[in-house]
Structure 1
Amino acid sequence: MTKIEESRDCGNSPKNSFVQSVAIALETGEAMPEAFSDAVVWHGAGGEPLTPLEGIEAVQAHLDSLMAPVAMVIDHAISHGRTGAASGEVTLADGRTRRFAHVLEFTSAKANRVAVIKSYG
């Protein structure tokens, strides 16, 4: 199980909390298919920025293949309108660390389903 240090940005913001939950899922592989639109597109998954994953089945298959990090620190999880972003650092089982950033585009301003993910790191 991944030890997670959450962002202080979430506070009373359900949208920021949702962004943080999506980032946790993207980094740990924890399934939460209800958070993604059926036609979700993920750019930069697995370090392949030119080959996006398209559709919930492809995203779920990629999440299922991930090795969960031993620790995760979420520095920021923010949202505004139809966009959100989260950044932080994961620690892998071999002790290496890796920075990440995920920019999310939602299906609507309600910010409860992700349409596009752009990942960096």
Structure 2
Amino acid sequence: MPRIIRSPDCGNSPRNGFVENIAIALETGICDPEAFDPAVTWETASTRQIVGRTALFEALPTERAPAKVIVEHAISHGRVGAASGEVIRANGETSRFCHVLEFTSLRANHVARVKSYD
């Protein structure tokens, strides 16, 4: 399991915490399937579009698992959220990420769409 450093933005906001958890899941490949709508779409940084919960889970990283994930910011407003941070691999390779999320409703408890940037 990678070391996770969480954002200070999530202390009093369950929605921000949910956004943070989704970002961590997308970076580590470890997540709860119920957090994603069955028809979720994921537009990856390479502009590849992945459609459906099953396809999303098949596309999650399984190789090159991170040694550390640092979430710098996680925010939400209405039906949208975003998280940014840094991933450090076991070999020392570092990359940055930003995931913009759209939720199925204002409750912000199921992800309908993800756009990822690195």
TM-score tier by shorter-chain length is over 0.9
Higher strand share: 2
* Partner in structure 2 of residue 16 of structure 1: 16
Q: Distance in 1 between matches of 2:104 and 2:63?
A: 25
Any idea what SS the aligned residue of 1:31 has? Answer: coil
TM-score (ref. length: structure 2) = 0.96
Seq. identity, %: 54
* Partner in structure 1 of residue 62 of structure 2: 65
TM-score (ref. length: structure 1) = 0.93
Q: What's the CA shift for 1:48?
A: 2.4
Aligned pairs, how many? Answer: 118
Q: 1:108 to 1:66 in 2, by over 3 A?
A: farther
Q: Distance in 2 between matches of 1:34 and 1:119?
A: 20
* Partner in structure 1 of residue 76 of structure 2: 79
Q: Distance in 2 between matches of 1:77 and 1:110?
A: 16
Which residue identity does 2:85 align to in structure 1? G
Q: 1:106 to 1:10 in 2, by over 3 A?
A: same
Any idea what SS the aligned residue of 2:59 has? Answer: helix
**Structure 2: runs of 5 or more not aligned:** none
1:113 matched to 2:113? no
Q: What's the CA shift for 1:107?
A: 0.2
Whether the 8 Å contact between 1:31 and 1:64 is mirrored in structure 2 is: no
Any idea what SS the aligned residue of 1:111 has? Answer: coil
* Partner in structure 1 of residue 86 of structure 2: 89
**Structure 1: runs of 5 or more not aligned:** none
* Partner in structure 2 of residue 6 of structure 1: 6
Any idea what SS the aligned residue of 1:100 has? Answer: strand
Q: What's the CA shift for 1:64?
A: 5.8
Q: What's the CA shift for 1:66?
A: 4.4
